[in-house]
Amino acid sequence: MIVFMLCSAPLFAQRKGDNKEQLQQKKTRLEDEIKLANVILNDMRENRKESISSIEALQQKLRIREQLLRTMRREIELLEIEQREQDKRIIELEELLSQQQEMYARMIQKAYTARDKQAILMFILSSNDFYQAVKRVQYLRQIAQAREKQIDRIRQTREELEHERAELKRKKEEKARLMARQQEEQRTLEAEKIDQEKRVADFKGREQEILADIKKKQQQRDQLNAEIQRLIALEIQRAKEEAQRKQIEKEATQVGLVKGKDFTGKTTNKQLQELIKKKREEIARLQQQQQQQGAPVTPTPSAPQEELPVLSAENQLLAANFSANRKKLPWPVERGLVVGRFGKHSHAVATQVVIDNKGIDIATSSGSKAKAVFDGEVISILRIPGANKAVLVRHGNYFTVYSNLTDIYVERGEQVKRGQNLGLIFTDEENGKTILHFEVWQNTTVLDPSSWLQ
């Protein structure tokens, strides 16, 4: 019963999908994100015109602070569970100590009544034989040892009881500190909500300006996405042709054709397949002659029955590795805050406008660099008027896009490694925002990057 009660708190936490250590780690991470949000907001606001991006950053900070409050509430719940279990444990130890002390008191009482040394000596000497005398001496020793063991048990129980009481006191103090911090965070959240409402209200008079800005940005994004789709479609076709070419060349080699002699890289697939067909016919005639002469027949290499591959073996492996890293990919910036979510959602200020975001927008500090989230090949560096530059990286049949860059550190066709710097993220001097737009595609289907990052 005691073991079950002591374990019930951790088991309850696991059923809820978290434990105290995980909650503390999450709380630390959320606090770090709030600090980063403050840095980003300061960059955006310091001596500059208020921007939509600062509203979005503040909204994200509010969401993070709400998560922090939920985490704190859950941590307080776990502390309360632990306190209740510790209270029960203390009561059990107090009862156990009382029982041990009563037992020891009875042992002392019996020892007091048998304290006469002469009586003890007579008890030993009255034995029927030497063997019985030895047994009686051992019995008396066992009684003395039992008293010593009982003293040890009482001491251990007292020490454990003192430890449990100290732990309970520590947990109560921890809970009090956490509750005070929670109240402070709640007051901060309410103040930030008022600040956000005020800032949104300030933008209401600039609705036409905002709508024009939204339209301009959406056109730039539509142009970027159309170009990305076009490039991905070309790359898929190129990868398919490359894989098919390798398969045809492999078949040509199997039938005995020699690259550089019988065919070259300039030989078209149709011409090469015709050469393979003629070679097979030649092998068939040779087999027929061998059969007529009674000689051993040379086996004909079998023609592949499967369809021509869409990806080469190398790209298939790269795609499988990328897929296996879902929810494990590193962020494309050192430290960042998502200020633009994936998919369709209302604009931060012009709530009647629905934004269709094909990726996520990550605000970061000035001077930050975009990093490759996985090994791959740079297949294009895009230049969209008014939208700076973008780098498109292929990972088998997966693609990642890093846009709003200025300086580019890689070249088309270059093999990049996970974590490698791709380019410098543009900082808008007018409003101080440094935002990376990041996308993930599988073939021509756009995916939510948030479900792929750590």
> Rounded to two decimals, what is the model's pTM?
0.60
Give the range of the structural domain holding residue 289, as residue numbers without chain letter.
Answer: 242-312
Q: H or E segment at 38?
A: helix 20-45
Q: Which domain CATH number covers 366?
A: 2.70.70.10
Q: Identify the pLDDT of residue 300.
A: 57
Looking from the CA of 61 toward its CB, the CA atoms found within 13 Å total 26
- DSSP SS3 for 145: helix
Q: How far apart are CA 313 and CA 93, in angstroms?
A: 66
Q: Identify the pLDDT of residue 393.
A: 95
Q: How far apart are CA 267 and CA 114, in angstroms?
A: 113
Query: How many domains does the chain fold into?
Result: 3
Q: How many helices (H) and strands (E) does the chain have?
A: 8, 12
Query: Quick one: DSSP state of residue 307?
Result: P
Q: 36 with 123, same domain?
A: yes
- Burial class from Cβ neighbours inside 10 Å (0-12, 13-18, 19+) for residue 347 reads middle
Q: Identify the pLDDT of residue 348.
A: 63
Q: Is residue 212 part of a domain?
A: no
Q: 358 with 297, same domain?
A: no
Q: H or E segment at 389?
A: strand 389-395
Q: 113 with 162, same domain?
A: yes
Estimate the share of the chain in helix, then strand, then coil, as percent rounded to the nearest 5.
60, 15, 25
Q: Identify the pLDDT of residue 45.
A: 59
Question: HEC states along 63-123?
Answer: HHHHHHHHHHHHHHHHHHHHHHHHHHHHHHHHHHHHHHHHHHHHHHHHHHHCCCHHHHHHH
Q: 285 with 299, same domain?
A: yes
Boundary of a domain, candidates 257, 288, 312: 312
8 A C-beta contact, residue 75 and residue 27: yes
Q: What is the pLDDT along the chain (454 residues), one digit of tens a residue?
A: 222 222 333 333 344 446 777 777 777 777 777 777 777 777 665 545 556 667 777 777 888 888 888 888 888 888 888 888 888 888 887 887 787 777 777 766 666 555 555 555 565 566 677 776 667 667 667 766 666 777 777 788 787 878 888 877 888 888 888 888 888 888 888 888 887 777 777 666 666 666 777 777 777 777 778 888 888 888 777 877 777 888 888 888 888 888 888 888 888 888 888 888 888 887 887 777 777 676 665 565 555 545 555 677 788 888 899 999 999 999 999 988 888 888 887 766 666 667 788 899 998 888 899 999 999 999 999 887 766 899 999 998 899 999 999 999 999 999 999 999 999 999 887 777 888 999 999 988 899 999 999 8
Q: Is residue 385 part of a domain?
A: yes
Q: 182 with 304, same domain?
A: no
Q: Is residue 229 part of a domain?
A: no
The phi and psi torsions of 307 (rounded to 5 degrees) equal -70, 155
Radius of gyration, alpha carbons of the chain = 38
